[in-house]
Structures are given as C-alpha cells and as structure tokens.
Amino acid sequence: MSLLVTGIRLPFDAPDEEAFAPAMRTCGLHEGRPSLYRRSIDARHGKIQKVCSVLIDGVEGEEAFAEHLQMPSVRYKPSAAFAPVLGKKRLAHRPVVVGLGPAGLFCAHLLARYGYRPLVLERGGDLAERDRAVRRFQKGGELDPACNIQFGEGGAGAYSDGKLTTRTHDPLCEAVLQTLVENGAPEEILRLAKPHIGTDLLKDVVKAMRTAIVQSGGEVRFRTPLTGVEVRGGRLAAVLADGQAVACERVVLAVGHSARDTFAMLHRVGVELLPKPFSVGVRIEHPQELIDRALYGRLAGHPALPPAEYTLSHRENGRACYSFCMCPGGLVVAAASEPGGVVTNGMSYHARDGRNANAALAVSVAPEDFDDGTPLGGIAFQCGLERAAYAAAGGYYAPCQTVGDFLRGVPSTGPGAILPTYEPGVAYGSLSAVLPPFVEGQIRRCLPVFGRKMRGFDSADALLTAPETRTSSPVRIPRGEGLFSVSAEGLIPCGEGAGYAGGIMSAAVDGMRAACRIMEEFAPF
C-alpha cells in the first residue's frame, strides 16, 4: 500500500528523481520511500513540461493519512497484486478460447498459468507464417483471407503501434502491463502515462506468451477456424473447430472485430447479436517533423522529447469526427482480410522513427445509417466501402488524395511534397468514389477546424488514404449474468469483436476478466 501523489510538474528535460522532493513536501512528509509511478509530456498552452506521479511507501496508516490530507493530488493506492479466486467445481473438458488476439491471448495465458490447460483455436498462422503472408501481400502478392493483418497470432494488435493506453481504470490494467514486461516488453511501459511497445517488439512478447501457454499445459491450434457452436437447452454443448466437434462447458469467444463469417454463423444458430455504432474514414499522413513543430515549437527535435502525437476531435451536425490510432513515425498498412476489398490501418515500430506520422480521421456511424433489418447491417456497410475502394483503385492499391485537392473537390493526379507509405501502393484520384457523402462532408468540414487547433494539419500536401473501416466491431454480442451470452450459458463473448473493448489494453483486461469468471467457478485440472 502506498500514497500516490499526482500532477508534479518539472522542466521536460529534468531527471525523474526531481519529482520526489515536491511529492514529499506536498504530503508534509520527512520520511518515506518515493519512486516514480508515471510520467508524461504536456505540450499544451505553449509550455512543455514533464508531469510525474510519485508513489511514497513506508508511511504508516497510508489510507487514513490520505483521507486526512483531503488533497485531490494525494490518494491512497492499494496494492496492485493480482490474486485470482479459484473455484471448487470440476471441469469435464478444457476451457476453449477462440482467437489469439489480445483478449484471447491474455485469457489463455492466465488460464494456463493457474493450471486450466486451455485449448486455443486460431484461424490464422503463427507469427512467422503471418509475417510471410503480410509481406507477400504488401509486395503485390495474393491476399490470404485467413492469415493477414487482421487474423493470426497476436490479432490486429500485433500489427499496430502497440499502444497501451485506455480510458478504463480497471485494476487489471497493471496486471496486463506486468505480464507484458514479464514476457519481454520494455520495463518503461510501467512508468509511462502513454506507453507503447511498437509492432517489432510486441511480436516477440506475443510469441513468448504463447510459449508460456503451451509450457503450462495449454494447446494452441493454428489454422483452425471456429465453424460452429452447438447450444442445447440454452447451454453451450460444443463448438466446431474446422468442422470437428469439440465438447466443452466454457468457451471464450475472442474473435476480433473482423470475424465477419463468425458473426454470420452465430446469427444463423440463434446467438443474439445487436448492431453497434462504429466509425469509418481515412488515414491522414504528415511529415513527423511537422507534427513535432506544431506541438513542440522551437524545441522540436530535442533528444529529451518523444516523437509528438496528437488527439483531435470535433462534433458538428450531431456527428463526431476524431483522430484515432495515431502512429508517430509510422506507416499506413494494407489491412484487408477479404478478397476484393481495400482496408487501411496504421502501425509503427518501437523507435517511432519513420518519416511520416499517420492517424485515422474517423467519422461516427450509427445503426440508423446502415439499418437493413438485421444485426449484420454494419458489416454490409463496411464491405460496401471496402469494395468501392477496390473498384476505384483497380485492385489492392489504396485510393489517395491530397488534402488540398480534397478540400477543393478535384481529383489528385500525384503527391505533393509528402510521399505515401502504404504498400502495395496508392491510386490517386477522388475519395468521393469511396466515401459515403456524410463521411466525406464531415471530414471536409473538420479538416480546417483541426488546422486551427494544430498548425499545418490541413496543409495542402498532407495525404488522405482510404478507407479506414475497422475501427471497432459493428456488432455487440450481449452478455448477461456471469459474462455469458444471453443466448447460451457457458459462452463468454469477449474483447473487441464482442463489442466490449477498444484497443490492446481494454481487450487484454476483458480477456483476463473472462478467465477469472471461469477460474472462480472451477478448480484447475
């Protein structure tokens, strides 16, 4: 147990240890053991500062002491040690985890760690095979619908910036970070307010966690898609793994936001699904130097400052437009998972040292925008955009337009000073052939607004690459008491695909929550 002192501001290049004395003074303490808890850079209001939070141990009666101070910047922090409760009932069959993205990976890892020997079904290949498939597609080769940036070991999160930020304050967040470090992630993620790993390092962490699952008695079956679910009398009885029945009492369904065939199968067999809001839009690219100058001014490039990142949002006409999944020094990547469709996404490596920054500019889409009388209308909406992009580009090239041409309403014939990073390449033209009018119009209205918030954001040479369609799942699989699907006792919808997470951290937390639900009911094998 500790005291947590927040909001300590220092010069951006000051050593972290300089936060300790102000933390002690804030509490009026002369004795204690201070240590850094979190740090971030605040570049708002034209003044760049380091903002630190400090833990102070060795204070007697920490909880009462913090309550007595009655200071918003000082609070009692209980121990974050994770200790799951284990049940007494016996499982007849191993728990099954479907999907090895962040939710499924953390669920299976926790189950295996405590002796539950999970069986993991993953439609894609392991990361070695997956890397080969992704590189082949990026170089103009065939798309593998089962093994790509969306599917395979690590899920969509394995080809991302590896951001570990989340809006949730669930205590399991610290357990997620600690698990990542134990499996090879840099220890700095424990101290950064906006931690990230980068796809290059994250892949090794994912492989280490999978190895730990297997060494602890679990099993991972790659190239084994979920093809069916058997429900008898409202209870889960079995799943079909690539057509073969697997008896089970508990299944964690962590299939990710792009498992469209799985959603259709669940709908056919009577598992309740609901349409869910999501967002679609484009990827915008700028030189990273421009973003650094916009946020850091004359201090841009200082070695004590990380590559700058931004968050922008604007609401107009009842609809939001916002930046999403910003990747400093990153790449725009080909993220299609179905033949005949184009999908873009963003990723970056740990160093974030690429020439361009990119982010999604996403516009909110509500169920009334795609209502077709079924819960799968959002999927059809996404598919329509992806196929329109494929038709406009004449293949898996991504439609691309400069911001200047986009705002003037004229097709682009080539780039300006900024070169695109997307592989296998872009097709210059007009995004009007791809984006729905309400999405195109909202982005056109918001670009100048964002340009006023961040100098140069709406510069004429900035690039818009389309479409970004996989920001989140277009469906939710409702779950009730005990996290079970309301249609099938024993089936636990989990993570982004089920509509209960958004990003690596919240998906991992939801995966651990699903594992805890099984563990508190049943004993290990």
CA dist., res. 239 & res. 90, Å (int): 20
DSSP state of 2: E
Query: Domain boundary residue among 36, 57, 72?
Result: 72
Q: Single out the residue of 126, 108, 117, 103 nearest to residue 216, CA to CA.
A: 117
CA dist., res. 274 & res. 374, Å (int): 8
Q: What is the Cα 454 distance to its own chain's centre?
A: 24
- Assess if residue 358 is contained within a domain: yes
- Assess if residue 82 is contained within a domain: no
Query: Is the confidence at residue 522, as pLDDT, over 80?
Result: yes
443 with 363: CB under 8 angstroms? yes
Residues 463 and 478 in one domain: no
CA dist., res. 439 & res. 450, Å (int): 16
Residues 184 and 245 in one domain: yes
Residues 455 and 483 in one domain: no
Query: Domain boundary residue among 23, 39, 72?
Result: 72
Q: Which token pair is 499?
A: 């509509």
DSSP reduced 3-state for 182: helix
Bridge partners (DSSP) listed for residue 222: none
Query: Domain boundary residue among 38, 72, 106?
Result: 72
- Assess if residue 60 is contained within a domain: yes
146 with 122: CB under 8 angstroms? no
- Quick one: pLDDT at residue 387? 98
The band of 450, judged by pLDDT with boundaries at 50, 70 and 90, is very high
The band of 1, judged by pLDDT with boundaries at 50, 70 and 90, is confident
Query: Is the confidence at residue 71, as pLDDT, over 80?
Result: yes
| CATH number of the domain where residue 488 is located | 3.50.50.60
Residues 228 and 177 in one domain: yes
Residues 182 and 36 in one domain: no
User: Tokens 């705002």 — which residue?
Assistant: 407
- Give the chain's domain count: 3
pLDDT in tens, 452-462: 999 999 999 99
Distance in Å from the first CA to the final CA of the chain: 33
pLDDT in tens, 76-98: 998 778 889 999 999 999 999 99
* Average pLDDT of the chain to the nearest whole number: 95
CA dist., res. 476 & res. 446, Å (int): 29
423 with 138: CB under 8 angstroms? yes
pLDDT in tens, 495-519: 999 999 999 999 999 999 999 999 9
- Quick one: pLDDT at residue 261? 97
483 with 513: CB under 8 angstroms? yes
- Quick one: pLDDT at residue 309? 95
- Quick one: pLDDT at residue 168? 73
Q: For the CA atoms of 169, 172, 176, 182, what is the dihedral angle to 10 degrees?
A: 130
In angstroms, the Cα distances linking 469 to 332, 341, 343 are 13, 11, 7
Residues 263 and 293 in one domain: no
307 with 348: CB under 8 angstroms? no
- Assess if residue 18 is contained within a domain: yes
- Quick one: pLDDT at residue 489? 95
Q: Which token pair is 371?
A: 């209502």
- Quick one: pLDDT at residue 167? 74
Q: Which token pair is 145?
A: 């619908």
Residues 478 and 380 in one domain: no
What own/partner pairs with CB < 8 Å and gap ≥ 24 does 61-66 have?
62/1, 62/2, 62/3, 63/1, 65/3, 65/27, 66/3
CA dist., res. 257 & res. 436, Å (int): 21
Identify residue 357 by its one-letter amino acid code: A
- Assess if residue 83 is contained within a domain: no
232 with 131: CB under 8 angstroms? no
CA dist., res. 425 & res. 414, Å (int): 12
The band of 308, judged by pLDDT with boundaries at 50, 70 and 90, is very high
- Quick one: pLDDT at residue 170? 85
pLDDT in tens, 10-63: 999 999 999 999 999 999 999 999 999 999 999 987 789 999 999 999 998 999
| CATH number of the domain where residue 67 is located | 3.30.70.2700
- Assess if residue 350 is contained within a domain: yes
Residues 124 and 111 in one domain: yes
Residues 264 and 289 in one domain: no
pLDDT in tens, 368-422: 999 888 999 999 999 999 999 999 999 999 999 999 999 999 999 999 999 999 9
Mean pLDDT, residues 163-176 taken together: 86
Phi, psi of 434 (to 5 degrees): -115, -50
9 with 73: CB under 8 angstroms? no
Residues 180 and 282 in one domain: no
Phi, psi of 245 (to 5 degrees): -70, 135
Residues 214 and 254 in one domain: yes
- Assess if residue 255 is contained within a domain: yes
DSSP state of 139: T
DSSP reduced 3-state for 339: coil
Residues 247 and 358 in one domain: no
Number of Cβ within a 10 Å radius of residue 70: 7
- Assess if residue 127 is contained within a domain: yes
- Quick one: pLDDT at residue 143? 98
457 with 474: CB under 8 angstroms? no
Q: Could you list the residue range(s) of the whole structural domain that residue 40 is in?
A: 2-72
* pTM for this predicted structure: 0.95
